[in-house]
Structure 1
Amino acid sequence: MNKVLFLLIFLCVQVGFAQQITVLDVDTREPIGNVAIYNNDHTKTALTDFDGKVDLSIFNQEERIAFRHLSYQLRKSTRGQIHRHGNRFFMVMKAEELDEVVMSVSKWEQQKKDIPNKITVIDARDIAFSSPQTSADLLQNSGKVFVQKSQLGGGSPMIRGFATNRLLLSVDGVRMNNAIFRGGNLQNVISIDPYSIKSTEIIFGPGSVIYGSDAIGGVMNFYTKKAEFSNSDSLSFSGNASYRFASVNIENTVHVDFNLGKKKWAFLTSASYNSFDDMKMGSHGPDSYLRNQYASTVNGADVLVLNENPKEQNPTGYNQFNLMQKIAYKPNNTWQYDLGLHYSETSDYARYDRLIRPDKAGDGLRSAEWYYGPQKWFMGNLQMNKRGKGIFYDGLKITTAYQHFEESRNDRGFQDVIRYSTEEKVDAISTNIDFENKKIGNLRLYYGGEYIFNKVGSVGSQEDIETNIVSGTASRYPDGSTWQTLAGYVNGEYKAKPNFTLLSGLRYSHVWIDAAFDKTYYPFPFDDANLNNGALTGSLGFSWFPKADLQITLNGSTGFRAPNIDDVGKIFDSEPGAVVVPNPDLEPEYAYNMELGIQKNFNDKLVFKSAAFYTYLVDALVRRDYLFDGEDEIMYNGELSSVQAIQNAAKAFVYGFEFGVEAFLTDNISVVSNLTITEGIEEEEDGTESPGRHVSPTFGDLHLVYKNQRLKTDLFLNYNGEIPFYDLATSERSKEYIYATDVDGNPYSPSWYTLNIRSQYEVTSDLKVSLNLENFTDQRYRSYSSGISAPGINLVLGLGYRF
């Protein structure tokens, strides 16, 4: 009798579990709560819980039932069909659904509609569909960030007329900018694996209240995937495997990640490997971009070799691998501990724009070799989160991190036997403590503090390639120099009315630099640089909905950038015939910004967005002519070079407009377009004006998107406007070899466009295939200030499997 009773109970339990299903997002696989489920005559209804689970026992096995959620497309099925698919039911997000929650402005979740700053969110489904080669391409694919490239292994974002060390990168809330981030183009963003990213949030305009120095033009926050806990007592296992091939540079990329979850512990492991061959440019465009010859060493001698395929940019190929390990521990509902370990390493990769520089005669090449050594980045990040009622907070977040950066530069002149090398290492530690307080009526406060310490190691060497004798030479930076900052901030969000929200914040930062100069190779007229600077920054803005379908935002903010080791202590061959020398007498530069935004929704069928901005930069840190020990020229690497240094010697004005349109023609077809127009001027102390160096040309895109439950296709146009010679920055005019030539024989950046199509098909709920054809008219072009030509016609194949 007991056995029969036990069997009946067991069968009832199994039937009960069989009738319980989980409703998930088809792209992210995250559970969807509050999904309404009902039959045709609405006599039976059910609702999913927070974990997306619901019991369907009230419905008959083959009864037609509907699944409805405000953010997702309506879907219908039967209980029997769902059971045959493993009791999982997938829903597709509506095209017009906008991201509602962001974290970048305060480091805590906030409603996007309440924030006066312009923020763009690139989520996991966007990343998976665009299938970028690198994180630089991920930003470019958004249509709202301009990206410059000097070589294939790179990508330097430009936002609102600012770039490099005037933009801030962060990964999981940890500042990536270090003490040697330079004013020249940067490629550190490629260290972030796009396959590990859950979402990217881009703040346009100053973000110094939360992020401190460098956040003048904008902030790019990369949030990587988290280790997921199990919803039951049993061990959960899931994962992804991906492969991507691109024809234009014979790319082969493989990726795998898997997650192990228990109730209190979770582990996520991610690994990616990329292999890129030389990039091929398009067929239709300026002949001056062709790679007609390249330098090669034959029998110990440098010779010029005719390129059999001038469209192949030799050498540009490289490879890279990325690893990520996440460990999460949740002992109770109050505390959670998250450990993230990241490692990225590239092979050597050529600085292509330096390898196409002509020699003084104009018929040869200046360099036989110019390459970066492996770019390495490690980050260990421990984050402790507490939720619950404290005396002064409702949320507490403590983040501690250690980062290690390695990079090197190696160059040798054509038919020169000496190879010059510099190697840099940076160790960075940081601690952030952030509080959220929601207790004070309609006021929410966010406040906290930050401490960062960087130590720079730098050595120089020269090698005779015939004798293999290595000797010392000047390092790029003062070896052992340090940069540190201590800061505190407070940020407030006040909901004055249901349709009117005020945001305001203040931050004080103090920065110290300690650098001692080695006089072995250069007779510096100073022994060290000891900078001690403070900066107060603030912001004030509002978000107002005069009507439910109309939003107006206005925001004023200040930003600053304190001098770093690159500004104070660099010795570097900046361009042919010029050398940058240290300058220990620098002050921070400040930016003052105003931004007005308007967003109008027309019956959920058409959404129009626009923003106008103006930024005024004072005490700008710029490279200008200088005297070194009373001399305006010195010998550097065997060449008489004019002397320059970073100085607080200019002002800058940047202004522009940004437009966006989303039109939802049907439930399946939409049109999306973006346009960015930026103008900028640098003004010298004597009143002389010149175009801004990092002001991008007018750029935009236009997308026609079709999407149903299984297929998504995007036919789109990318376009860039022309920058004529008179609008080129003075420093760019001297780089004739990377630009086309106008009718007057002057360098300029031509306009260009590309036509492209992307498609992704869901074979099953776990298997997706993608087929993209990029630049299918095979245009030959270079983005502004880029030394490498963009890809020609490119076939991209992708395969993704969830398990």
Structure 2
Amino acid sequence: MRPSRSVSIAPALSSTCAPPGAQLRRTPPTEPRHASPATPLRPWFRTGRAFLPRPVTSGIHFPGVSAPTTHGLPMPIAGDLPPAHRPPSRPPDARAPLRRAEGGSPCLGRPPLALRRSTAIACAPALTALVVALVAIATDPMTVHGSELTPTRTWAPDPGEEGRDDRAIRLDSEDIRERQHETVADTLREEPGVHVQQTNRGAGAPIIRGQVGPGVLIVHDGVRINDATFRTGPNQYLNLFDPLSLERIELLRGTAGTTWGSDAIGGIVFLAPPPLLYRRGWGASLQQRFESADRAWLGSPDLNWSGESVSLRAGGSWSRHGELRTGGGEVVPASDYRKFTARGSIGLLTGPTTELELHYAGAFIRDAGRVDRLDDANVRFIDNDQHLAWTRFTIDGSGWRERVTLLGSFKRTREDTLRHDCTLGNVHGFDPVVRTTIDRLACIRGNPGEVAGRRTQRDTAWVPGWTATVEGELGDSGLHLAWGTDGQWTVVDRSEEFRFAAEDSGWIAGERRPGSYPDGAHMGLLGLWASGARPIALDDTHTLVPLAGVRVDHARAAADDVPDLGDVRYAWTGFTAHTGLEHRVGESFTLHAGWDQGFRAPNLQETTLVGNTGNFFEVPNDSLRPERANTLEAGVRMRSDVGSADIRLWTMRITDVIEREPTTFDGQDEIGGTEVVRRINAGRAELLGAEGAIESAAWNGLSLRATTGWVRGRTEDSEDWQPIRREPPLRYSAALRWDFTPWSSRITLVGEGAAAQTRIHRGDEGDPRICAVPDYPGVLWRDLGQSCPGTDGWFTLGLRVRQDLGERTTLRLRLSNLLDRSYRHHGSGLDAPGFSAMIGIENRWGASR
């Protein structure tokens, strides 16, 4: 039987995931995967420590090496023009003046003053936890208690039956490579409870349980990626990680605020890079692929070497994407972009039970065009840079400090947004007047004389973070405890706008203005948490696991000289908790019920930003309160010789929901034709959902897997109840797989689709991604006095083939949208790709994995 993907990255300790920064480890191959029926069950600990019966050993165990516009909207299509007249994704000289004007280091530069002043205060909790941990270790020498340090740690455990969070879904490296999707979000879209929204190429955001953007937490190898500059709503930050550079992806569906703090309302996406290995010698791999829908080329190399106590790993990826062909043959203009990633890791076994790791991951997206507001004279090209460095020190002990994990991280982000100021004209025959872009192709090209102007917004931020976690068992009581502290400090180093002037020779750097964020604006998060679980064996088969946890958080933000507000000061302290109960019947049945709390602190965009954020001109509100969520959930997981099933029912209530309301700025309700809004705590939201997955055991190499997810939500504002923003439609998928062992082949037929979505929030009625009128550029259904019909349902078929060519080479083929259907994911800014053929090859040398 194919292993179920509903495998936890976390224990039953809390029905949430592993603590921040925890470096979880695989169970060594020599150890039993599950406890025998005669052995009392002991759950996985909070951070994935395997409390399984095993022989008492000492030393270090080294595992052996195993072998455009949608709906027919008329527009000039760049792909149909002669090469000499095709618009470049970005004018070639648009960036040069800006880069020259910036000065300083092209990579990291000098830390901002606010960051330097706050370093001592920001790091105090982590330093305190470090001192406490080291004193505890020094006063009571560690012993290896029935386990040993396994240098093949990854941040999540291998599948186990003990103490799992059944809400979690795991995709291993083979699942990721088989799907061969462009983004992490697309890789997750076949999973229950996941809806994917994509405003433009180079972006992609998962909507999990009705939450998107900062309502979904991203964690990379234990490092919190969300920061205070994350845009509210769908964003592109998950695409800064290349799925082919990951060892696995795990998705936790549901609220998990007790362990992970702010933003973990809808769920958490965990990303695991390739692990550090020891005593493996050298290894290398190279993945390459080509896809026809956008003529994309991708390469991803990986190189590693390991000795007795040292492990080195380096890799990266590069990709170049052309303009996207959608179903029916239309081409999305300005949809080409480039992406580069780089990573490096060093592991050191500093002692019999200690390990030190140093990591770096960089990502760079270039020329990602956004044209969903093209008819409103709003065209943007976005560059994103991210530098992420982190270090982890892990100490294995016994008793109440069986594992101590200390993690520190530092992230630098830069986002450049180039905007073209295009010319609007009236659309004849409409009353009131409807205005749209006069020359759409010229608006994309942005050449001097064709558009009124050009400006670039640049935002740069520094984000240090830390976590400290202690976990273990309290004496012989069977009570497993985990506690820790974590924090993050976001500082806007520089926010500025450059306006370019037109000359005969082209665009030149002109006026420099303050950006949307005040320079030095900063926000800090600090949390302290504790969780516990105690399994109670009723007999040899039945086990009850009660679990509970509590957390206290403090958030603080400040910015000086904010327009219309002056100096902004924001602070909040609050508590979250969770409790639950699991009933396990051997390895075949698990029943779970739980209550979880979470929150989302207002970010710097909502409390300090002044400017155009795409669809609106936003002004800040420094009196916002955090959104708070309470989730009740029940689920059952069953396994037998014929297959497996996983069913989840949940309900969520969110109070102090942050929504937009119309306002004025400098006495105007529109700036540059864009509505002026601010964020307020509008009321509450109520959501109800169900998720399910079934999978059959293999029969003559054939197996079937089917998933579905349904969400229904409503939100209350000053007027009445209405559907939530971008409410996901009913989603479903099915995959029929045939493994032909004699030829080392696998063939998978995939069908996926969504029902129509006609439930539209009032705010979505002004969103052309959802409510544009087909064949009338710039016209919305509300301009005609009609209700928005929403998004049509769709269904597509695809085929995936994997062929092993010996032990070192794998050939992959994926055929998507076989019927070349024209369709759109609800809320997206462009149609999905039409028929596309992808061919990829992976070569491996030495001990590559």
Greater RCO (Cα-Cα under 8 Å, separation 6 or more)? 2
Map Cα deviations across residues 480-502 of structure 1 (whole Å, 9 max, x no partner): 10101211100112102252112
- Listed one character per residue, the Cα deviations across residues 581-627 of structure 1 (whole Å, up to 9, x for unaligned) are 111111111001001101223x3212121101100000111111235
For the 8 Å contact 2:726–2:826, the answer to whether it is kept is no
C-alpha displacement of 1:734: 1.5
C-alpha deviations, 1:635-684, integer Å up to 9, x for none? 624x4x54310111121111110011111241521100000010111111
Q: How does 1:90-101 map to 2 (within 5 A)?
A: none
SS at match of 1:138: helix
Report if aligned partners of 2:372, 2:768 keep a CA contact under 8 Å in 1.
no
Pair 618,109 (structure 1): closer, same or farther in 2 beyond 3 Å: farther
Instruction: Check the 8 A contact 1:771/1:796 in 2, yes or no.
Output: yes
Instruction: Look up the match of 1:595.
Output: 633
**Superposition pairs for residues 520-559 of structure 1, below 5 Å?**
524=564, 526-546=565-585, 549-559=588-598
After superposition, residues 670-685 of structure 1 pair within 5 angstroms as 670-685=703-718
Corresponding letter in the other structure for 2:763: S
**Which residue number corresponds to residue 277 of structure 2?**
228
The equivalences for 1:200-219 within 5 A come to 200-219=249-268
Question: Pick from 374, 380, 393: which aligns with 2:389?
Answer: 380
Pick one of 170, 175, 184 that aligns with 1:135. 184
Q: Render the CA deviation track for 1:139-159: whole Å, top value 9, x for unaligned.
A: 224454211001111001100
State the Cα RMSD in Å: 2.7
Matches of 1:209 and 1:31 in 2, distance apart? 30
Does structure 1 residue 697 correspond to structure 2 residue 729?
yes
**Counterpart Cα distance in 2 of 1:512 and 1:109:** 38
Q: Following superposition of structure 1 onto structure 2, how do residues 293-332 of structure 1 map, counting pairs within 5 Å?
A: 311-332=330-351
Q: 1:389 to 1:583 in 2, by over 3 A?
A: same
* Equivalence map 1:739-778=2 (5 Å): 739=771, 746-778=788-820
Query: Could you report, residue by residue, the CA deviation over 1:219-274 in whole angstroms, capped at 9, with x for unpaired residues?
Result: 1111111221115xxxx111111111101001100111111110100100112111
CA gap of 1:474–1:139, structure 2 versus 1, over 3 A, is same
**Aligned residue for 2:482?**
446
1:242 aligns with 2:279: no
Whether the 8 Å CA contact 2:153–2:275 is kept in 1: the answer is no
CA-to-aligned-CA distance 1:510-540 (integer Å, 9 cap, x gap):
0110111354xxxx1x211111101211111
1:4 is aligned to none
Q: Which runs of 5+ in 2 are unaligned?
A: 1-25, 34-59, 66-151, 424-450, 775-780
Cα distance in 1 for partners of 2:524, 2:395 equals: 28
Q: Is 1:462 matched up with 2:470?
A: no
8 Å Cα contact 1:740-1:747 kept in structure 2: no
How far apart, in 2, do the equivalents of 1:562 and 1:108 lie? 30
The residue identity in structure 1 corresponding to 2:469 is D
CA shift at 1:421, angstroms?
2.1
| 2:284 matches 1:251 | no
Partners of 1:626 and 1:731 in 2: CA distance: 14
Partner of 1:363: none
More divergent stretch after superposition (483-492 vs 408-417): 408-417
For residues 667-722 of structure 1, what are the alpha-carbon distances to aligned partners after superposition, in whole Å with 9 as ceiling and x for unaligned?
52110000001011111144x11111142111010110111441111101011110
Counterpart Cα distance in 2 of 1:102 and 1:695: 39
SS in 1 for 2:189: helix
CA distance 1:112–1:153, shift in 2 (3 Å): farther
Contact 2:257 2:597 in 1 (8 A): yes
Counterpart-to-counterpart distance in 1, 2:487 and 2:586: 43
1:103–1:262: structure 2 CA closer, same or farther, 3 Å change rule?
closer
1:9 maps to which residue?
A: none
- Deviation of the 1:184 alpha carbon: 2.3
1:713 pairs with one of 718, 722, 747: 747
User: What secondary structure, in the 3-state scheme, does the structure 2 residue paired with 1:566 have?
Assistant: helix
Contact in 1 for aligned 2:386/2:411 (Cα 8 Å): yes
**Pairing of 1:419-568 with structure 2 (within 5 A):** 419-440=454-475, 441-456=477-492, 457-466=494-503, 468=508, 470-497=510-537, 499-519=543-563, 524=564, 526-546=565-585, 549-568=588-607
Counterpart CA distance in 2 for 1:430 and 1:414 is: 41
- Aligned-partner residue type, residue 730 of structure 1: R
Give the distance between the partners of 1:112 and 1:586, measured in 2 at CA.
43
Q: Is 1:652 aligned with 2:688?
A: no
Q: Report SS of the residue matched to 1:613.
A: strand
Secondary structure, aligned partner of 1:331: strand
Per-residue deviation, residues 718-762 of structure 1 (Å, max 9, x unmatched): 1111012xx112222222465575997744200001100101011
1:731 aligns with 2:797: no
Q: 2 CA distance for matches of 1:730 and 1:765?
A: 56
Matching of residue 270 in structure 1 with residue 303 in structure 2: no
CA distance in 1: counterparts of 2:465 and 2:711, whole angstroms: 35
Shift of 1:547: 6.4
Q: Does the C-alpha gap of structure 1 residues 481 and 739 become closer, same or farther in structure 2, counting only changes over 3 Å?
A: same
Q: Give the residue type in structure 2 aligned to 1:336.
A: E
Instruction: Find the aligned partners of 1:741 and 1:463 in 2 and give their Cα distance.
Output: 34
| Contact kept? 2:734, 2:751, Cα under 8 Å | yes
Which letter does structure 2 place at the counterpart of 1:463?
Answer: F
Q: What is the deviation of 1:546?
A: 4.6
Asked if the contact 1:270–1:325 (Cα under 8 Å) also holds between the matched residues in 2, the reply is yes
Task: State how many pairs are aligned.
Answer: 662
Separation in 2 of the partners of 1:53 and 1:454?
43
Aligned partner letter, 2:480 = R
Query: Is the 8 Å Cα contact of residues 193 and 710 (structure 2) preserved in structure 1?
Result: no
- The 3 A distance-change label for structure 1 pair 116 and 272 is closer
Cα offset, 1:111, TM superposition: 4.8
Secondary structure at the counterpart of residue 238 of structure 2: helix
Q: Is the 8 A contact 2:770 2:826 kept in 1?
A: no
**Fraction of identical pairs, as percent:** 21
Match of 1:551, SS state, is: strand
Secondary structure of 2:518's counterpart equals coil
**Bigger proportion of residues as strand:** 1
TM-score (norm 2): 0.74
Over alpha carbons, which structure has the higher Rg? 1
Aligned to 2:219: 170
Displacement, 1:628? 4.6
> Is the CA contact (8 Å cut-off) linking 1:282 and 1:779 kept in structure 2?
yes
Q: Which residue type is aligned with residue 331 of structure 2?
A: E
CA contact (8 A) 1:591 1:616 kept: yes
Corresponding residue for residue 405 of structure 1: 413
Indicate conservation of the 8 Å contact 2:769/2:830, yes or no. Answer: no
Are residues 229 and 115 of structure 1, via their aligned partners in 2, closer, same or farther at CA, if it must alter by over 3 Å? closer
Q: 1:478 to 1:599 in 2, by over 3 A?
A: same
SS at match of 2:733: strand
Is the counterpart of residue 345 in structure 1 residue 364 in structure 2? yes
Normalization by structure 1: what TM-score?
A: 0.78
Taking a change above 3 Å as real, the CA distance of residues 31 and 700 of structure 1, as seen in their structure-2 partners, is same
> Which residue matches 2:125?
none
